[in-house]
Every structure is written in C-alpha cells, then in structure tokens.
Structure 1
C-alpha cells in the first residue's frame, strides 16, 4: 500500500511548521537529501558538558541534566545517520556512557531521582527499586553504542563488551520481556553483527543462540490481534519489525501489510498520527510533549513505511 504523494507533502509541511527543529532536520535528511550536519547541529543542543543528553530530548521527561535514557534517544539518531566516530558529539557521548555505567550490573540507570523535579510522565517517576522495571532498557543498546563507536581494544569498547555480556546473560535467562527492552536487544544484535567473530569467542552464548532467543521474545510480545491495535499503547508488528531483512518479516508479511494499512487509516488530515498515550498529570505541559511526539512519530513511521516500499 502506497502513501499518496499529497499526503507525504502534507506531512513534511506539518513537520517543518510544527515539529522541533531536530525532527525537521531528520525529515530533511531522510526524505529531502539534506545534510546530516543539520541533524547533528540540532541534536547537539540537547547535549550537556559531561557528554550526556537531557533537556527533554525524550519528550516524556523534561530533566535538563544528562541521563542514560536521554542519551539513548540521542544515540539512536546518531546511529540512524551513520555518525562518524570522530564527531565531537559522539566522542563526548561515549565519555558520558563510560562514566555512568554500573560496571557491577552492566546497566545504566533508566530513571534518575532528579526526574521528579521536572514535568514527566508517570512511568518516568523515580522511586526506590525502579530499575527493576527497566533492567537492560536502555543498557543493552548503550553497550552497543560503546562497541560501535570505540576502537577495538580501547577502554570504552571493553566497557561496552563487559556490559553487553551481562545483558546477554540476562536475555538468555528471560522467559518474557517488555517490547522496549526487546527492541534494545534487537539493536544490540544489529551492532554486534559486525563483531560476530569476537561475540562468538567471548560471550557466554553464540551470536546465533542469542539471536534466536531475542526473536522468540520478539515474537511473543507482538500484538497479533488487529482488533486491539487501536485500543491503547500496544507493540504493533512495525514497532519491532522495521525492514524486510528482519528475521520475522516473512512470518508476519501479511500482518505487516495490515499494519501499514492501519497506519494509513489512523493518519490525521495533516498526515501525522496522534499518540496513543497521555500523562494524566501536568495538564499544561503535556500538550507540548504531545506535539513533540507527533513529530518524532511521523519521522519514525515514515522511515519504516519507506523500508517496506510504501513511500
């Protein structure tokens, strides 16, 4: 199913007029052949002196200080544009990640106590023991960032490998997993595909064993009942199967087509999507976060739609 050309243009116009400059730059990079330098320029505005990111780059919490979760959001953008390891924004980020990991657990704190001092969604509220709700989200992916952008054998790469090993131990022992954490592991494996020989010789399980386990967990958490897709925040097929090279693509080819049609049906007149969640708190602040998320969601979904030939 193809997105109509006029719909595509309406979406781009809405993003340029209403989204954050970061999303407008990402849209330009992905769909209008503009430079990645613009993306890095606007992304850098969210970076702090310690190399981490904050300032509401993840719009559901507005903590200005650096946090691992906000840094994960920035790292995903840097991965998407293929940022060079020598970029200052990347090098500073790696320093923050190396300094903020809990080497004993291999995790990064997903929620910080300071979150509570700023507008935030309830799931970003800090309390004692909250890390157990998040575990290796986003740590599995952050470990991958350190491996991906650091020279082989360097201190930062070694930190990444050690954290990745603990993440692998966790996933292999898991019988079920939240889809956000599953997504983190999928991204870790995409990075490790380029390091498979070392993975197989240093990790407690082979790359293929871990891949099979992650795909089983992915399969389990996809919402397969189409009647449930519009009832709340559910993990749809396209949330976890992002291109035709994905190991589960053939199995879910028909459901993916249904998901594409669902996306088209759910579009607003502006060619964007309303987000399927709300805070229930900070009523004067949530509309701002909602608008930011609409821009993020539009860019992310169009990227996936293009990967399946619908744009």
Structure 2
C-alpha cells in the first residue's frame, strides 16, 4: 500500500469530515465545493469561525485563530473568491484592537473548553499571531477588503520592533514577508530578522517536544531564502519516514484530550501530504 492509500485509510478511521474531503479534493479528484460547504458549517453568523475548526478551541463562538485555519483551507482549494472570505474579514474588522491587529485570542474564550495555553487579558492588543498570516494570505489572493490596509500597517510596525522572537511569531512573520506585495521592504526586514528567525527553528529532525522544524516555516517552497536545499532535503526525508503504521501524521504538541489527537491527526496528515507534494516528493 503506497503513501496516499495508507493516508486515505488513516483518514477514513480517524479524520473529520472536512479533512477527509480536503484529502479527496487535493489527491483524489474530489469536489472542492464540498470542502467549502463543510467549511461554512464552522462559520458563525458574525462571519468568524469557531466550533472547533481549530481543534484546541472547542467553543462554538468565533475567535481570530480559526479564521487563519479557514483561510489556509480556502487557499488550498483556491476559493478566496467565496463570500466566506468577505464575511470573515468583516468579523476581523469588528474584533481588531485599536492598533489594527487582531488579538491572539479574545476574552470570550474563558467560558469555553480549550487547551490550557489559550489565555488572554481583558483587553488584548493585536498580535502578529494570527494577523500576519491572515494578512499575507489576503495579499496573496489580491484582497481589497477595508480591514487589510490597517492590518498590514500593524504587521509592518510590529515586525520593525522585533529583536528576538518566538517560533509561532516567527512563522507568522515568514508567511507575511513571503506573501506581501512590497518585496523590497519584505526582503529588507527578512535580511534583518533571518538569524532571529533561524534561532527558533529545530534543524535536527530528531528534536523532540514542541519543536518547530524547517518545513513548519516552509510547508511549500518560499520566495525568501530561509533554508538550504540540503536542510530541506533532510527534513523531507524525515517527514516521509514519519508516516505512522496507521498511515497518518500527528502534531508534536500536547494532546490535552483524546479527541483532539484524532482531529489534529487528520488535519496534520493532509498538511504533510501537501508539503511532500509541493517539494516533488509525492505524486498525485
């Protein structure tokens, strides 16, 4: 049984409907419209996303981070022309802080079941996580929504302040700098921050725990010269070898309740297959 067949079997046993449909749309000739239909079920009337689309946020109410998850799915099925996007941007505009960014998480999370790291202040400021990734994806697809200029200005301002950074922030910054249209400014900031970004990366594929590897920063080839081809090749070899006997991959962060291990497993499995294909390691 080849890699895709094993992954399909894994998803049949463990994956959410949305991740099974993502797999079929991307690797089995399935309907992308069906992915969009299911994704809409996670979207609330305020335009935001909740309902455990991001498995560690179990509540029904909208939060900023699930918008990023939704946008990555819309990106992979080339559906940024969907009204879903404008509704989500309207939501982002409604919950943005005065600085123009959306908070990492909103105080309403306190009344919902969630992973223990989802905590926030009463009046949280904007955060590059997830503002930078969301803004980058909107720029990639040529969005003209009114939320984007202020969010972009926020990202430039916060990026200019960075000296040292953390893995999740660095990943968001890389996404923004790789996709934003102002290439001269992006490349200048990247040159300034490259060493700080690399300091957050686990270059040894055998690193255990909640490590962040090159392919987490570059799940498909980047315009920015962050990693050498040798480093990427080493990690692609390790990624292919990490497919479990059941056929899936999982996250290396704490699985705080059994259900999220299944939900993340399906999501991550499709994500890893996309990465292997993006680098020519997987046909289909």
Q: TM-score, normalised by structure 2?
A: 0.89
- The one of 1, 6, 10 equivalent to 1:10 is 6
Q: Is 1:207 aligned to 2:203, yes or no?
A: no
With over 3 angstroms needed to count, the CA separation of the structure-2 counterparts of 1:147 and 1:276, relative to structure 1, is closer
Shift of 1:182: 2.0
Aligned to 1:288: 259
The residue number in structure 2 matching 1:171 is 159
Aligned ranges 1:140-179 → 2 under 5 Å: 140-145=132-137, 147=139, 152=144, 156-157=145-146, 159-179=147-167
Counterpart residue number, 2:274: 303
SS in 1 for 2:199: helix
In the TM superposition, structure 1's runs of 4+ consecutive aligned residues that sit over 4 Å from their partners are 145-152
| Correspondence for 1:235 | 212
Question: RMSD over aligned Cα, in angstroms?
Answer: 2.4
1:221 to 195, 200, 207: 200
Q: Where in structure 2 are there 5+ consecutive unaligned residues?
A: none
Q: Which moved more, 1:66-75 or 1:181-190?
A: 181-190
Displacement after TM superposition at 1:226 (Å): 3.7
Query: Is the alpha carbon distance of 1:242 and 1:145 closer, same or farther for their aligned partners in structure 2, counting shifts above 3 Å?
Result: closer
Quote how far apart the aligned CAs of 1:11 are. 0.7
Q: Which residue does 2:114 correspond to in 1?
A: 120
Residue in 1 that maps onto 2:62: 66
Contact 2:163–2:193 (CA under 8 A) maintained in structure 1: no
Q: Flag the 1:256–1:112 CA change in 2: closer, same or farther, 3 A.
A: same
The residue aligned with 1:44 is: 40
Paired residue secondary structure (1:95): helix
Given the superposition, is the C-alpha separation of residues 244 and 88 from structure 1 closer, same or farther in structure 2, using an over 3 Å criterion? closer
2:96 maps to what in 1? 101
* 2-structure distance, mates of 1:276, 1:47: 27
Equivalent-residue separation in structure 1 for 2:177 and 2:70 (angstroms)? 19
CA change 1:262–1:107 in 2 (3 A) is same
CA contact (8 A) 1:171 1:213 kept: no
Report the counterpart of residue 136 of structure 1 in structure 2: 128
The answer for the alignment partner of 2:17 in structure 1 is 21
Counterpart contact for 1:185–1:214, Cα < 8 Å: no
Q: Distance in 2 between matches of 1:309 and 1:101?
A: 39
Preserved CA contact (<8 Å) 2:64 2:102: yes
Residue number among 243, 248, 264 corresponding to 1:267 in the alignment: 243
Is the Cα–Cα contact under 8 Å of residues 145 and 160 in structure 1 kept in the other structure? Answer: no
Report the alpha carbon displacement of residue 295 of structure 1 after superposing the two structures with TM. Answer: 0.4
Give the C-alpha shift of residue 232 in structure 1: 0.5
Give yes or no for contact 2:101–2:128 (8 Å, CA) kept in 1.
Answer: yes
Unaligned runs of 5+ in 1: 201-205, 281-285
Tell me the TM-score normalised to structure 1 length.
0.82
